[in-house]
Amino acid sequence: DMMREAQQGTHTLRSHGMTLARTHMHDWIILVLLVILECILLIIHPFYRFVGKDMMTDLSYPLKSNTVPIWSVPVYAMLLPLAIFVFIYFRRRDVYDLHHAVLGLLYSVLVTAVLTDSIKNAVYDSLGDVICHGDKSVIREGHKSFPSGHTSWSFAGLGFLSLYLSGKIRAFDGKGHVAKLCIVILPLLVAALVGISRVDDYWHHWQDVFAGGLLGLVVSTFCYLQFFPPPYRTEAWGPYAYFLVLEAARAQAQAQAQAQAAENEAAQRPPQGDNGEEEDGGFMGLHLVDNPSMRREEADVEAGRVPSRG
């Protein structure tokens, strides 16, 4: 924890933002393509499910307005998590956490949206002995029943937020703080209530809602695990990229420390070859054993002091 606190504030939008964006440029390009694909899926006409007269008992429900308006879904499924990501960034100053949380959330929602609308538009059947009258837009939405888009979007965005918060508060750290689960469950509860409202409003059957919720939750889990460790891991509070950068910084600091230590040791080592004389390399690298008494006799001869012999 102390090391983590010491490293916070060193990776900001200004210092690392552009480099990080360039590193993930291909991810952002694919994200734009997903947006274009989703727009196409929303424009094309959905499939016509077969409707027979004997099926009307299961389909004849009163037309009700949406308890959860369509415009509100991106607000609570995307803008709310994004606001929480930005708030945590200003607390921790970790651009890796902000970037990967935003990218993971957008991928979670858009992949879910593409899959949902692809399934809605996948089957075309114009046969049937029932003619629908009324608002064309209502009839069009009636043919886009499976799966529930409200529910899949809700679980994609709020499911990702639930995983993100569970990592940040370390809900599964083994210390038994069960109150943390309330924070983890709250986004999932909101998504579930949205799904229930779709059944209450007679816009979907429970099978549509169940499939949409399962789809959104599975996609959000896969997208989250692309960038963050599982919530039960010790390092679940940060993205994988943060720990990789931290490890690289440690390795660089260790290498610099070793180089500095080697330089200091070399500076303290006494110089070789006194009096300007070159060090004798010996014959083919071989050196004779130094004899101190022989060195003293040579010195006496040079000084004119010849030792007496007997």
CB atoms inside a 10 Å sphere around CB 261: 10
3-state secondary structure of 81: helix
Q: Can you tell me the distance from the alpha carbon of 56 to that of 129, in angstroms, rounded to the nearest whole number?
A: 11
Within 13 Å and on the Cβ side, how many CA atoms surround 145?
17
Check if the beta carbon of residue 77 is closer than 8 Å to that of residue 216.
no
Q: Which residues of 93-105 are buried (b: 16+ CB within 10 A; e: fewer)?
A: bbbbbbbbbbbbb
Angle at 263 between CA 258 and CA 266, to 5 degrees: 125
Which residues are 51's β-sheet partners?
128
Residue with token string 């007496």: 308
Give me the catalytic one of 143, 204, 205, 287: 204
Annotation marks residue 204 as catalytic: yes
C-alpha dihedral over 105, 107, 109, 110, to 10 degrees?
150
Annotation marks residue 150 as catalytic: yes
In order of 207, 270, 286, the CA distances from 278 in angstroms are 92, 15, 16
Give me the catalytic one of 16, 150, 177, 287: 150
Q: Can you tell me the distance from the alpha carbon of 45 to that of 124, in angstroms, rounded to the nearest whole number?
A: 10
3-state secondary structure of 51: strand
Residues identified as active-site = 150, 204
